[in-house]
Amino acid sequence: MHYEPVIGLETHAELLTASKLWCGCSIRFGRPPNTQTCPVCLGMPGTLPVLNERALELALRAALALGCRINRPTSFDRKNYYYPDLPKNYQISQNYCNLGEDGRLEIPVNGEVRAVGISNVHLEEDAGKNLHVDYPGADYSLVDLNRAGTPLLEIVTAPDMRAVEEAVSFMQTLRRLLLYTEVSDCKMQEGSLRFEASISMRPAGTNRLGPRVEIKNLNSIKAVTAALEYEVRRQSRLLQDGGEVKQETRLWDEERGRSARMRTKEEAHDYRYFPDPDLLPVAIGDALLDRVRATVPELPLARRERFIAEHGLSDYNASVLTDSKELADYFEGCLQHHEAPESIANWLLNVVLGQINQRDISIREFELGPERLAELVRLMDEGAINQQAARDVMEKMVKTGKTAGALVKELGLEQIGDESDLAPLIEQVIEENPGPVKDYLGGKQAAVGPLVGQVMRLSRGKADPKLANRMLREKLEAMK
Amino acid sequence: MPITPDEVEYVANLARLELTEEEKERFAGQLDAILQYMEKLNELDTSGVEPLVHGIAGRQATRPDRVEESLPRDEALANAPEKSEGCFRVPRIIE
Ligand SMILES: [Zn+2]
DSSP letter at A74? B
Weakest mean pLDDT among A298-302, A416-420, A433-437: A416-420
Contact A224, A157 (CB under 8 A): no
A349 in Cβ contact with A385 (< 8 Å) = no
- Backbone φ and ψ for B62, nearest 5 degrees, come out as -120, 170
Looking at CA atoms only, how far is residue B58 from chain A in angstroms?
7
pLDDT in tens, A209-252: 788 899 988 888 999 999 999 999 999 999 888 888 888 889 99
| Residue A38 · residue A266 · CB < 8 Å | no
Which residues does chain A have within 8 Å of residue B54's beta carbon, measured at their own beta carbons?
75, 275, 277, 279-281
The C-alpha of A12 sits at a distance from chain B's nearest C-alpha, in angstroms, of: 20
B65 contacts A52? CB cut-off 8 A: yes
What's the confidence (pLDDT) of residue A173?
94
Mutate to test the interface with B, among A27, A42, A250 (most CBs of B within 10 A): A42
Beta strands in A85-233 (DSSP E): 90-93, 100-109, 112-125, 129-132, 140-144, 151-157, 193-203, 213-218
B81 touching A, CB under 8 A? no
Which chain A positions have a beta carbon within 8 Å of B94's beta carbon? Answer: 263-264
Res A263: pLDDT: 67
| Residue A82 burial class via C-beta count within 10 angstroms: exposed 0-12, middle 13-18, buried 19 and up | exposed
Out of B59, B82, B94, name the one closest to residue A263 (CB).
Answer: B94
| pLDDT tens-digit map of B3-36 | 899 999 999 988 889 999 999 999 999 999 999 9
Q: What is the pLDDT of residue B95?
A: 61
Between chain A and chain B, the number of residue pairs with CB atoms below 8 A apart is 139
What pLDDT does A410 receive? 83
In chain A, the percentage of residues whose pLDDT exceeds 90 is 67
Across the interface, whether the CB atoms of A25 and B73 are under 8 A apart is answered: no
Backbone φ, ψ for residue B84 (5° rounding): -160, 155
Protein residues near ligand 1, an ion, with CB under 5 A: A 23, 25, 38, 40-41
Average pLDDT, chain A: 91
Tell me which chain A residues have a C-beta less than 8 angstroms from the C-beta of B53: 73, 75, 96-97, 275, 281
The amino acid sitting at B9 is E
What distance in Å separates residue B77's CA from the closest CA in chain A? Answer: 8
Q: What pLDDT does residue B1 have?
A: 65
Q: Is A30 exposed, middle or buried (0-12, 13-18, 19+ CB in 10 A)?
A: exposed
Who wins on pLDDT, A386 or A297?
A297
Say what the pLDDT of residue B71 is: 97
Domain ranges of chain A: 3-290, 300-410, 419-479
User: Is residue A268 predicted with pLDDT exceeding 80?
Assistant: no
CATH annotation of A419-479: 1.10.10.410
pLDDT score recorded for residue A13: 96
What are the tens digits of pLDDT across the range A168-178? Answer: 999 999 999 99
**Cα four-point dihedral sign A442, A443, A447, A452:** positive
- Residue-wise pLDDT for A115-168, tens only, equals 999 999 999 999 999 998 888 878 899 999 999 999 999 999 999 999 999 999
Q: Give chain B positions within 8 Å (CB) of A267.
A: 10, 13-14
Contact in structure between A171 and A195 (CB atoms under 8 Å) = yes
CATH number for B1-45 (one of 1.10.10.60, 3.10.620.30, 1.10.20.60, 3.10.450.100): it is 1.10.20.60
Task: Quote the ligand 1 centre to A43 CA distance (angstroms).
Answer: 9
Mutation site, B63, B79, B94, interface A, largest A CB count within 10 A: B63
Question: Shortest Cα distance from A246 to chain B (angstroms)?
Answer: 18
Contact B67 A24 (CB under 8 A): yes
Q: In this predicted structure, which of A180-184, A306-310, A352-356, A407-411 has the lowest mean pLDDT?
A: A407-411
C-alpha A15/C-alpha A110 separation (Å) is 31
Peptide bond into A73 cis (omega under 30): yes
Name the more confident of A268 and A323: A323
Residue B73 near chain A (CB below 8 Å): yes
Determine how β-strand A151-157 pairs with β-strand A3-14.
antiparallel
Provide the percentage of residues in chain A whose pLDDT is more than 70.
99
The C-alpha of B71 sits at a distance from chain A's nearest C-alpha, in angstroms, of 5
| Predicted pLDDT of residue A365 | 92
Instruction: Give the C-alpha separation, A123 to A13, whole Å.
Output: 10
| CA pseudo-torsion sign A116, A177, A107, A205 | negative
**Among candidates B10, B53, B55 on the partner chain, residue whose Cβ is nearest the Cβ of A75:** B53
pLDDT in tens, B40-89: 888 889 888 887 778 888 888 899 999 999 999 999 999 999 999 999 99
**A contacts of B85 (beta carbons < 8 Å):** 33, 142
Q: pTM above 0.80? A: yes
Please indicate whether residue A431 or residue A99 has the higher confidence score (pLDDT): A99
For chain A, percent helix, then strand, then coil, each to nearest 5?
40, 20, 35
* Domain coordinates in residue numbering, chain B: 1-45
ipTM of the complex: 0.90
